[in-house]
Chains A and B, each alone.
Chain A
Amino acid sequence: MISDRALDRLHGLIAVPDLSGTRYQLVSTLGRGGMATVYLARDTTLDREVALKVVDWTVDESSASRLAQEARILASLEHPGIVPVHDFGQLADGRLFYAMKRVRGVRLDRWAATRDVHERLGAFLRICDAVAFAHAHGVVHRDLKPENVMVGEFGEVLVLDWGIARVRGQSESSGLVAGTPDYMAPEQVRGERTVDERADVYALGTMLAGLAGPGERHKALLAITAKATSPDALDRYSSVDALRTDVSRFMAGLAVGAHHESVSDRLFRVVHRHRLAIALVLAYLAMRLLLLSVFQI
């Protein structure tokens, strides 16, 4: 019979990654994904906390190689909005891992629940910055969703989980469907090979709709969301930069490319944008009228 102690030990061999021979010590589990688990660990050499992403024990070798690709992608993307990788390797138990910065913050959806729309859209612009940077380096994330974005103490955003990211020019068999259904562009759901940056535009559009909130009635913002999430990739923004520009213009009270304004829309927007100045002028005129009438009396 396998004794209780041996049973626990054997179970540990399966459940806990073997970090012997590495500079890391496991502290706790931070989260679990589709093929890997992220642990909080202590880097004993630099005496700091890191996050270790370790391939699950059930994952076969070919799938595990995706973690290697993810580490390489992250290492190639040095941007404040993308979590930096410190180390990559293979544990004594054969599992692949990489060490990255320990991200402190809250998930975008939880953070957004306590913020006003202006702050939420500000965070959205910063997410767009990180994704646009990746696109400029030929990397499409393909799994953008609120759960994969952390917002730090000072409102800084970090885009996480690049596990199914695709590098431009890298071959991939068609029919592979990966991502999160609610945020996947139709061409991604169909497993088409032509999935490109516009799939991320679609996911960002869906996230924008969530950040704007269900009560959002502003025509321009609704038009931006609709354009970003158009079922046909050709009808979407051609780049994240273009999407970002429109959201930025919306926030500044300017006309946006996605929305063709009527005269009344334009008048309302201009009035709204300059409402303070208009209010001051009207107040001044009202005062003048009042004084004039008093003086005449």
Chain B
Amino acid sequence: MIASLGSEQPDVRRAAFDALATAYWKAVFKYVRLKWNATADEAADLTQSFFLRAYEKAYFAGFDPERGRFRTYLRTCLDRFVAKVRQEHGRLKRGGAIEFVPFDFAEAESELQRQHTGDAVQELDAFFHREWLRSLFGLAVDRLRVACETGGHARRFTIFERYDLGDDESARPTYAVLASELAISVTDVTNELAAARREFRRVVLDVLREQCASDEEFEHEARALGSSRDL
């Protein structure tokens, strides 16, 4: 995806940019809200304008994978962009007729209100990383859902969703409860959940690979993702 951002072919470049925006817009919006203390409306405008300007001015063409992560580079571009806009007293240059993937800012704002962002202002690096991770996993879950449904494994996704995606730990069903609800054996629940998790990991790798500029960056990111959680 990152490599395609500099493509000579407009279709390829545009598709890559859409994918990039899909992966990052929510993290960008929330980051601008917190780091730059922007109102919801201002953050929405800044997010929209940032992606627009990045597309028009080919911000990301200067990214060198040898010098660091793309995510860090994007955030540096974003900070510079917002600082410049603020310097110009918030005058945003509206773009032409380019429409990206839809950004549901109302939903993003509602999410932000539900999140505990007390420490986020002190730990903006960690916050941005976590929001990116949330977006990465969100995309992977969406793809897994589609793959399960089209592959005739809707039940597999249901089990995964009930067991792994729930918010309330106390309401997490046991294997026996899931087996009873779905009229299958506990062994089937175990097997389906294991298969869904395997597939989820594979899809996460696919999405991550698309978001990295080089094999080296992908390997680095994947290893970091697999080792950054304490036991």
Q: Which of A10-18, A163-171, A216-224 forms part of the interface with chain B? A: A10-18
B205 within 8 A of A: yes
Check A13–B200 contact: CB distance below 8 A. Answer: yes
B204 CB, nearest partner CB in chain A, Å: 7
Check A6–B164 contact: CB distance below 8 A. Answer: yes
Check A1–B223 contact: CB distance below 8 A. Answer: no
A287 within 8 A of B: no
Given A4-B115, A6-B164, A94-B198; A16-B138 close (CB under 8 Å):
no
Per-residue CB contact flags for chain A residues 9-50 toward chain B (1 = under 8 Å, else 0) read: 111111110100100001111001000010100000000000
A250 within 8 A of B: no
* A18–B137 alpha-carbon span in the complex (Å): 18
Given A57-B201, A92-B194, A93-B198; A1-B225 close (CB under 8 Å):
no
* A13–B205 alpha-carbon span in the complex (Å): 13
Chain B residues with CB under 8 Å of A15's CB are 225-229
Check A13–B167 contact: CB distance below 8 A. Answer: no
Chain A residues with CB under 8 Å of B194's CB are 18, 92-94
* A162–B204 alpha-carbon span in the complex (Å): 30
Contact of B231 among A5, A27, A58, A94 (CB under 8 A): A27
Q: Is the interface of B mostly helix, strand, loop or mixed?
A: helix
A3 within 8 A of B: yes
Check B137–A10 contact: CB distance below 8 A. Answer: yes
Chain B residues with CB under 8 Å of A21's CB are 190
B219 within 8 A of A: yes
Chain B residues with CB under 8 Å of A37's CB are 226-227
Check B167–A6 contact: CB distance below 8 A. Answer: yes
Contact of A2 among B134, B197, B223, B231 (CB under 8 A): B134
Residue of A nearest to B115 (CB): A4
Per-residue CB contact flags for chain B residues 192-219 toward chain A (1 = under 8 Å, else 0) read: 0010011011001100000000000001
A56 within 8 A of B: yes
* B interface bracket (residues with beta carbon within 8 Å of A): 20 to 34
Chain A residues with CB under 8 Å of B133's CB are 7, 11
Residue of B nearest to A57 (CB): B226
Q: How many residues of A contact B (CB 8 A)?
A: 31
* A266–B114 alpha-carbon span in the complex (Å): 84
* A11–B164 alpha-carbon span in the complex (Å): 11
B61 within 8 A of A: no
Check A13–B197 contact: CB distance below 8 A. Answer: yes
Chain A residues with CB under 8 Å of B168's CB are 5
Chain B residues with CB under 8 Å of A10's CB are 137, 141, 164-165, 200
B181 within 8 A of A: no
* A240–B202 alpha-carbon span in the complex (Å): 44
A18 CB, nearest partner CB in chain B, Å: 7
Chain A residues with CB under 8 Å of B111's CB are 1
Check B222–A29 contact: CB distance below 8 A. Answer: no
Chain A residues with CB under 8 Å of B107's CB are 1
* A36–B231 alpha-carbon span in the complex (Å): 16
Given A13-B200, A58-B222; A2-B137 close (CB under 8 Å):
yes
Check B226–A58 contact: CB distance below 8 A. Answer: yes
B130 within 8 A of A: yes
Contacts A3-B167, A4-B116, A5-B166 given; 11 further ones with Cβ under 8 A?
A: A1-B134, A2-B141, A4-B115, A11-B133, A11-B228, A13-B164, A15-B226, A16-B231, A29-B231, A58-B226, A93-B194
What are the 9 tightest A-B residue pairs by CB atom distance, in nearest-first order? A15-B229, A3-B167, A58-B222, A94-B198, A1-B111, A92-B194, A6-B165, A57-B226, A10-B137
Q: Which residues of B contact A (CB under 8 A)?
A: 107, 111, 114-116, 130, 133-134, 137-138, 141, 164-169, 190, 194, 197-198, 200-201, 204-205, 219, 222-223, 225-229, 231
